[in-house]
Structure 1
């Protein structure tokens, strides 16, 4: 039996028929071959799974496995299924409607080996279908501890995406993967980093993820309230870590990011106030004067004022954000 590869690419496949070929091409044309692809068709209703297995079978350069879920499991559970079938020392999550730099595998292996890293985090870019760069996900250039990396996520200075993180597989398998919730990347990243000793931040842009008008991140999704549960799970998984200024940093992630995201994204994307109202009311019910004061104390006076509008009445907040605010 051949030696296990250094990296296992975890590739959940679901409703990506127009994009899967480009994604696979970026993986199959890597400069390094020290990896495998574990593709999992999450009971996709289109031809995504069929196309994936056919494209992988047409080549012999990169080892691969293809798994089909009998029923839809969701992103977090599907990644876990892929990781359980993997053999690599590290796992790398790739979304099947994105594509990666052709030197990604070689570069992250070199960084992991050089620094004996448990996690390697690299920069990424968000691009439009026309190829325009909307914004970059920066990481910095450093070697830090896992706890320091968690601190940076709580501080909102490091993004919690899974797709730009190479993670030791033993750590990835040892954490809870929240099933049935969106924004699950936050939970997964915080837990993996919390269990890691050495984290390498590299500034190179090695991943491109797509902005699509039809994507889940661009349309109104009532499940955005899952962020309440995600924030609670993050608190549970971080409260025992030796994090400096823990309460202040947790406040920043939970309220300045979490509550703000739920409220602003709902107001911006919900097509009518009737649809937005139940979600906005749920945020308003949880908001306390102490939270508004905390936002002001965190040098975010404008956010404090706008969230006060939400507390006074969701309709006032909805109208203001629709006209002036973009979060």
Structure 2
């Protein structure tokens, strides 16, 4: 049997309420030229058993289920899945999300037509109540990998792994920062930096399901991993021929990453006692020159609120909590 063109990488961990719906959306694809590489990452619930049962009940799509004895985290689990893959391309899917029935057909067609190393598609964000809350756009066109990295630095292109079809050889060569969250930013930047042709398509092919227990909605001290992720991103992008690189990377690091760490902590932490060490770490890394850079970049509101953080984290915490309740 010839190898399928696409390998879907499906890490599984604590998704027993969602994994069956995710697999149903994959197994009902209009194109069958793909395989599913599912990895049970030591999940303490029935997620792996449910996945095995659903996959075994069909013979339309080839599949493999790998089980990690210990929990290894998302980045390492994706690497394990990629090592088992046979496809020319890999497609990352989160096991509590859904995909459009024409996802495989569409991205494979675009990859073949343009000999693309990466195909990036649009998605929708689904709120816990089931309503579509936002569209995640990708644009439309053919650009180079360096141009795609520049769009990420400009905050014009999302750095998720799950909205990108990537040539497998490029994906496995990228650094997958094990043990860190927000690893998608690092992986996306490196895969794009090593790609020649990137096809952007406007088709909305993925539904990102926002869960009440999701990382962006609960307090997680690991949010400080973004500091390390930014260091890795800088290391892999500093030598790229990107116009106005220093200003763009400043915007990604301070206007996005530092802001994300501080705001997410202030909003999600139930008490200032829990938030204080993280907010203090941001304050210590945030210098006056960075605040002036935000002002010069015309981010006046961000300049004001981050200045409050620099003055004292408690002021920042109180202000953010008050306005977030409105």
- Fold match, TM over 0.5? yes
In structure 2, the partner of 1:206 is 205
Q: Deviations over 1:34-73 (max 9, x none)?
A: 0000000000000000011111111000000110011111
**Structure 1: 5+ residue stretches without partners:** none
In structure 2, the partner of 1:163 is 162
Distance (whole Å) between structure 2 residues aligned to residue 4 and residue 39 of structure 1: 17
Once the two structures are TM-superposed, the CA of residue 214 in structure 1 deviates from its matched residue by: 1.8
Which segment drifts farther, 274-283 or 211-220? 211-220
Distance (whole Å) between structure 2 residues aligned to residue 128 and residue 59 of structure 1: 31
Once the two structures are TM-superposed, the CA of residue 216 in structure 1 deviates from its matched residue by: 2.4
Q: Deviations over 1:291-311 (max 9, x none)?
A: 011111111011001100000
TM-score by length of 1: 0.98
3-state SS, counterpart of residue 179 of structure 1: coil
In structure 1, the partner of 2:32 is 33
In structure 2, the partner of 1:257 is 256
3-state SS, counterpart of residue 106 of structure 2: helix
- Equivalent runs, 1:110-149 vs 2, <5 Å: 110-149=109-148
Conserved in 1, the CA contact under 8 Å of 2:116 and 2:197? yes
In structure 1, the partner of 2:224 is 225
In structure 2, the partner of 1:297 is 296
Which segment drifts farther, 128-137 or 238-247? 128-137
TM-score by length of 2: 0.98
- Equivalent runs, 1:183-194 vs 2, <5 Å: 183-194=182-193
Q: Deviations over 1:167-212 (max 9, x none)?
A: 0000001111000000000000000000000000100100001111
Equivalenced residue count is 325
1:87 and 2:86 equivalent?
yes
Distance (whole Å) between structure 2 residues aligned to residue 140 and residue 258 of structure 1: 23
Distance (whole Å) between structure 1 residues aligned to residue 4 and residue 129 of structure 2: 35
Once the two structures are TM-superposed, the CA of residue 325 in structure 1 deviates from its matched residue by: 5.2
- Equivalent runs, 1:39-50 vs 2, <5 Å: 39-50=38-49
Once the two structures are TM-superposed, the CA of residue 323 in structure 1 deviates from its matched residue by: 1.0
In structure 2, the partner of 1:245 is 244
Distance (whole Å) between structure 1 residues aligned to residue 84 and residue 235 of structure 2: 28
**Structure 2: 5+ residue stretches without partners:** none
Once the two structures are TM-superposed, the CA of residue 134 in structure 1 deviates from its matched residue by: 1.1
Q: Deviations over 1:117-148 (max 9, x none)?
A: 00000000110243201111101111100000
